[in-house]
A and B are shown apart, each in its own frame.
Chain A
Amino acid sequence: MSSISSLYKSSLGQKYVMAASGTLLFLFVVGHLVGNLQVFGSPELINTYAHFLKSKPLLLWGVRLGLLALVALHVITAVQLSLANKAARPVEYAKPPTYGSAWQSRYMLGTGSVIAAFVVYHLAHFTALLPGINGVGDFRTLEATLPGGEKTHDVYAMIVLGFQVWWVTLFYLVAQAVLFIHLGHGLASMFQSLGFRNHIWWPRIQLFAKVASIAIFIGYALIPVSIYLRVVGADYAETKRFELKPAALVEPAAATGKEAK
């Protein structure tokens, strides 16, 4: 226990926590991308995958709570470190000394905050399915039939309908660009913080960080862009939009009804 508390008390220990939680969150980002890329297949493909995840509640909630804990750890430690870092220079320079520093490295707290805000929206958008924030209608009413005959939530329709809204697609793209900047510095720094670096491996680590952050950006950006440009799922979305319409129209109809009274 003493080594765990002394770990968190030291600035280096807090950097280990940042790097380790960052590594696990990065692995989730990769896994999540692989899952999401199934949207380029048939509607049944991603719906079956989503149904499979939902059918294992223990695993699903274990992973969800684990991720939540990781995010909390990553954010709280980042805030603590940033406060300590700010306190270490009470009087600022007339000219901020940024000499030799990578610009991405100076905005980790800012880019991280944007990503955190995005995660909140993304969870409300596609996980909690809050109506009224997606610009389409109530995603909870979407239903699909799996090849086995089971009824399930139509995740495919939700995605293709969701990204046909221009501001949703734009927000997702901005968030992905910010994640790209965050990972561009973070991925290489994880290795540094955990001590995995020498003159041979540092260029390779930097290359890995560059390639991985670009690949993640392209992979994630491809989904909303190809849907927004109606390359993917346009016909499917139209049939489903028809199903959605009554639900979307409920509120305005009720409102006019009240006015009529």
Chain B
Amino acid sequence: MKVTLKVWRQKSRNTPGEFKTYESPALNPNMSFLEMLDVVNEELANRGEEPIAFDHDCREGICGTCSLVIDGKPHGPHQGVATCQTYMRSFKNGDEIVVEPFRARAFPLVKDLVVDRKALDRIQHAGGFISVRTGSAPDANNILVPKENADLAMDAAQCIGCGACVAACKNASAMLFVAAKVSHLGLLPQGQPERHRRVKAMVDQMDAEGFGGCTVTGSCEAVCPKEISLDFIARMNRDYAAALIRGEPKPIAGSGAG
């Protein structure tokens, strides 16, 4: 099979970009979308042209490095899979496929289809952690966790931080990502001590990065390769309200306890 690619090409952040059209060589329908790009790039390189830059790493749907908005949908036509798990058999021979980078102010473009998603890392650094003594593994079931909470926490923890939610949202909002990160720790006993500080810090960092707000359109949930539910956004909204009502902790008089 062969396809026509309309790809966004942009040399660097500050140079203007444009769509360029490429005809693919003959493809095996069982190639992944990224393998198709590899083949196209090899041909470009052979012709002495600059290959198309795109992000990829594990290519098995667990690292969250691949991106791409394919025909207007992040991660391509299917539900619950990342671009690397999208195969050419999902397209028809002769299709024109429009490939764009994730577009958001908080995701500045690096080159072609590669964008800088470090804003998500900075949100994680603001509060997406628990403070514990590391050491040897604790005994299993030392801390009891209700099964339903463990399941929900695992659902949230599936987030691979790819940023498709931001790319799909008409407001370029990172709410689904932040909600997943807030919830998966907030649902577990180990996450309780920092629960309210965490949600406050992460949401404030999200705002500082220049992401938009949530208008509950549901696009993020629909494109998420891990099918993270909008329920988690409601959970985060609850936690953030609780954190606001609690306010800042009481300042410690003197030098404190220690």
Q: A10-B207, A13-B244, A99-B222 are in contact. Are A195 and B235 (CB under 8 A)?
A: yes
Q: For residue A100, which residue of chain B has the nearest CB?
A: B222
Q: A93-B103, A99-B72 are in contact. Are A105 and B211 (CB under 8 A)?
A: no
Docked pose: A61 CA to B85 CA in angstroms: 62
A89 & B104 in contact (Cβ 8 Å cutoff) = yes
B105 & A87 in contact (Cβ 8 Å cutoff) = yes
Nearest CB of A to B9, in Å: 13
A198 & B231 in contact (Cβ 8 Å cutoff) = yes
Docked pose: A4 CA to B161 CA in angstroms: 31
A105 & B221 in contact (Cβ 8 Å cutoff) = no
Interface residues of B in 185-213 (CB under 8 A from A): 203-204, 206-207, 210-213
Which residues on A sit within 8 Å (CB–CB) of B162? none
Chain A 1-14 near chain B by CB (<8 Å), digits 1 or 0: 01100110111111
B112 within 8 A of A: no
A261 within 8 A of B: no
B105 & A101 in contact (Cβ 8 Å cutoff) = no
B100 & A88 in contact (Cβ 8 Å cutoff) = no
B222 & A101 in contact (Cβ 8 Å cutoff) = yes
B248 within 8 A of A: yes
A254 within 8 A of B: no
Docked pose: A93 CA to B235 CA in angstroms: 30
A93 & B248 in contact (Cβ 8 Å cutoff) = no
B84 within 8 A of A: no
Tell me which of B170, B210, B216, B240 contacts A192 (CB under 8 A).
B216
B92 within 8 A of A: no
Docked pose: A122 CA to B186 CA in angstroms: 48
Interface hub of A2, A9, A198 (most chain B Cβ within 10 A): A198
Docked pose: A196 CA to B235 CA in angstroms: 8
A188 within 8 A of B: yes
Docked pose: A206 CA to B144 CA in angstroms: 35
Which residues on B sit within 8 Å (CB–CB) of A94? 6, 19, 72, 98, 100
Nearest CB of B to A176, in Å: 23
Nearest CB of B to A111, in Å: 12
Which residues on B sit within 8 Å (CB–CB) of A81? 213, 215
Interface hub of B74, B219, B247 (most chain A Cβ within 10 A): B219
B237 within 8 A of A: yes
Interface residues of A in 74-94 (CB under 8 A from B): 81, 84-94
Q: For residue B210, which residue of chain A has the nearest CB?
A: A88
B43 within 8 A of A: no
Q: For residue A191, which residue of chain B has the nearest CB?
A: B234
Nearest CB of A to B222, in Å: 2
B229 within 8 A of A: yes
B36 within 8 A of A: no
Interface residues of A in 113-136 (CB under 8 A from B): none
B71 within 8 A of A: yes
A51 within 8 A of B: no
Which residues on A sit within 8 Å (CB–CB) of B245? 3
Q: For residue B220, which residue of chain A has the nearest CB?
A: A100
Nearest CB of A to B216, in Å: 4
A189 within 8 A of B: yes
B237 & A89 in contact (Cβ 8 Å cutoff) = no
Interface residues of A in 179-202 (CB under 8 A from B): 185, 188-189, 191-199, 202
Docked pose: A119 CA to B206 CA in angstroms: 36
B213 & A100 in contact (Cβ 8 Å cutoff) = no
Q: For residue B235, which residue of chain A has the nearest CB?
A: A195
Which residues on B sit within 8 Å (CB–CB) of A31? none
Interface residues of B in 203-258 (CB under 8 A from A): 203-204, 206-207, 210-219, 221-223, 229-231, 233-241, 244-245, 247-248
A98 & B237 in contact (Cβ 8 Å cutoff) = no
Which residues on A sit within 8 Å (CB–CB) of B74? 97
Nearest CB of B to A253, in Å: 54
Partner-B contacts on A (CB < 8 A): 2-3, 6-7, 9-16, 81, 84-102, 105-106, 108, 185, 188-189, 191-199, 202
List of 6 A-B pairs having minimum Cβ-Cβ separation, nearest first: A100-B222, A195-B238, A88-B212, A95-B72, A101-B217, A197-B234
Supply 26 A–B pairs (Cβ within 8 Å), ascending by A. Answer: A2-B248, A9-B207, A10-B203, A11-B207, A11-B211, A11-B214, A12-B213, A84-B213, A85-B170, A85-B171, A86-B212, A88-B172, A93-B72, A98-B72, A98-B170, A98-B219, A99-B222, A100-B223, A106-B170, A106-B217, A188-B216, A192-B233, A193-B237, A196-B234, A199-B231, A202-B231
